[in-house]
Amino acid sequence: MGYYPRLRDLREDNDLSIRKLADLFYMQRTTYHNYETGKRELPFELAITLAKFYDVSLDYIGGLTNDKTPSHQK
């Protein structure tokens, strides 16, 4: 399973609770929490949606780069 600590960082940087974010994306709080902690694999489509929501790159969410800039802005 993947572990995506940046999901938590992005959520907290945007002053969102797990409850608020889960409500925005129509999912259970525990489901989203499990994505953040790596207990559940993050679906690729959701990763894309979150990258667009936070306006960051997928590589940033995946921990492959420290550059938050999405490729369409480069």
Q: What is residue 14's DSSP assignment?
A: T
pLDDT at 74: 58
pLDDT bin (cut points 50, 70, 90) of residue 1 is: low
Q: Which domain holds residue 19?
A: 5-66
Whichever domain contains 18, its CATH number is: 1.10.260.40
Distance CA 18, CA 26 (A): 12
- Counting every residue, how long is the chain? 74
Instruction: Write the pLDDT tens digit of every residue in 20-62.
Output: 999 999 999 999 999 999 999 999 999 999 999 999 999 999 8
How many domains is the chain partitioned into structurally?
A: 1
Whether residue 6 contacts residue 54, with contact meaning beta carbons closer than 8 Å, is answered with no
Q: Averaged over 2-31, what is the pLDDT?
A: 94
Q: Is 25 inside any structural domain?
A: yes
Structure pTM?
A: 0.87
Distance CA 41, CA 35 (A): 6
pLDDT at 70: 78
